[in-house]
Amino acid sequence: MRAGPDHADVLDVAVVGAGFAGLGTAIRLARRGRERFVVLERAGEVGGTWRDNTYPGVACDVPSHLYSFSFAPDPGWSRVFAPGAEVQRYLRERAREVAGHLRLRCEVLEASWDPVGEHWRVRTTTGPVRARVLVLAAGRLTEPRTPDVPGLAQFGGPVVHTSRWDPALDLTGRRVGVVGTGASAVQVVPPLADRAGHVDVFQRSAAWIVPRGDRPFSAAERAGFAAAPQTARALREETFADMERGLAARRLDPGALEALRRRASDHLRAQVPDPGLRAALTPDYEIGCKRVLLSDDFYPALGRPHVRLVPSAVRSAGPGAVTTADGRRHALDVLVLATGFHAAVQPYAARVAGRDGRTLAQAWEGGMVSHASTVVHGFPNLFVLDGPNASLGHNSAVHVIESQIGYLLGALDHLAAAPGPLEVSLDAQRRYTAEVDALAADSVWLRGGCSSWYVDPRSGRLTLLWPDTATEFRRRNGTFDPEPFGGG
């Protein structure tokens, strides 16, 4: 797929974002050697989520050998669950293969479809880019969610979101408040408890937590992975199959649901002997409705004498203190916000305008929709990775990303043979959305009695997760099919 003589400066592909999805796409494109492409990254470093999240205790919640590219394995993982810095190191090393295609500190300000030239015009902070195909690989966990707490600006002390951690922040002997008890909180609280003089953990709703079971790989194991790559592949396949079995509980299979609930309840009972604290940490919704967390040290940290669970939401703040919904005032020196991200509303969507000038934000004003979790009606030659219904609640997101890259490469092959723009029909998008909604209807994510970031609050639809197996996602969405394009 090459630009003609009148469009010599039009690239074949522009990729936005240099995290897992963007780098994976770049590596596959570079190895093909067919397309001229560029990767646009607003930061000065690659890595996405793993570049931004450097808080104490940050680590991967998917086993290392599965949370990495199948086409770029690493035999040297130090632990079953890699620390965040190690995942970032892995991505930096993978980026060397495509260094010549990277444009760092290059933020996309807007992108619009040119119907005459049949390509995307991308305005960036370092100059314009034109490309026949635009790949949005910006991810979901990019814009931190700061709670709307009256008086927060008057707190006076440091207020830091976990994804914007200040490495110079000294917590020694200080009174620290942690807002939230989700995935980042259960990782950050134990190391904070080791440093701070006192820690208050503010909990709106309790989380289901299962044992993590982390351990270091021995030197002999790492040497074996390096000497016999098939050993690492077998571990990856075994881990994948084991995690696939976790979908049964999310599909409300009674036996699987009971087994998962018992595993979490037994873990809570074993690690929290105090009945009052245990009651406060027991969720009031079905397991799996929200993200099931992995930790072996969060519960013990809450049992330390200088750590206190506050089972009440923060309602207001003032100089040196916060007040919770139960009316109690809590004096603090530092406030840590473990409050997640704006995931249901993609932050880049307002910057991308399609065929009729309508933005993705407008197309998704009732919640994200797509066909094949990758293409959107009204946006020719646009591919969204890690977007609508393109994550998993039970297995590795990297498997989904690789599936979407496979879909993209097939579309590029089709464009090389039939150069006209590719735009999925509205009818195909509606059918796919209805099928996803039907799959989600009988899942714990919609019937588990909770409010979660997986569900779009505007529509009540499950818009972030694929509500079936990872295997089925690849079978369904890992190969490009031209039939749904055109018409509609």
Q: CA–CA separation, 284 vs 267, rounded Å?
A: 17
Contact 1, 416 (CB under 8 A): yes
Q: Convert the pLDDT of each residue in 62-82 to its tens digit.
A: 999 999 999 999 999 999 999
Asked if residue 15 lies in contact with residue 401, where contact means CB atoms within 8 angstroms, the answer is: no
CATH 3.50.50.60 range(s) for the chain read: 5-143+342-477, 152-337
- Phi/psi at 48 (5° precision): 55, -125
Q: What is the DSSP letter of 61?
A: S
First to last CA, the chain: 26
Low-confidence ranges of the chain (pLDDT < 70): 1-8, 487-488
Q: Give the whole-angstrom CA distance, residue 310 versus residue 330.
A: 10
Reduced to 3 states (helix: H, G, I; strand: E, B; else coil), residue 180 is coil
Q: What are the strands, taking DSSP E only, across 115-208?
A: 119-124, 127-136, 159-161, 175-179, 198-202
Structure tokens at 369: 């929709």
Dihedral angle over CA of 194, 200, 201, 203, nearest 10: 170
Residues facing 179 on adjacent strands:
202, 337
CA distance 364 to 343: 13
- Biggest alpha carbon–alpha carbon distance for the chain: 75
Topology adopted by domain 152-337: FAD/NAD(P)-binding domain (3.50.50)
Q: Which amino acid is at 216?
A: P
Residue 7's pLDDT is 59
Please identify which residue in the block is written with the tokens 């013990």. Answer: 300
If residue 190 lies in a helix (H) or strand (E), which one and from where to where? helix 183-195
pLDDT at residue 488, rounded to an integer: 39
Q: How far apart are CA 137 and CA 91, in angstroms?
A: 15
The pLDDT assigned to 420 comes to 87
pLDDT of residue 344: 72
pLDDT at 8: 65
Beta partners for residue 130, in sequence order:
121
Sign of the CA dihedral with 117 first, then 118, 124, and 129 last = negative
What is the pTM (predicted TM-score) of this model? Answer: 0.95
Q: How far is CA 93 from CA 45, 63, 75, 182, 292, in A?
A: 12, 19, 13, 30, 31
Alpha-carbon torsion angle 448, 450, 456, 458, nearest 10: 110
pLDDT at 1: 55
**How far is Cα of residue 393 from the mean position of the Cα atoms in its chain?**
11
What pLDDT, on the 0 to 100 scale, is given for residue 487?
43
Which architecture does CATH list for 5-143+342-477? Answer: 3-Layer(bba) Sandwich (3.50)
Name the percent of the chain in helix, strand, coil, to the closest 5. Answer: 35, 20, 45
pLDDT at 5: 39
DSSP 394-410: SS-HHHHHHHHHHHHHH
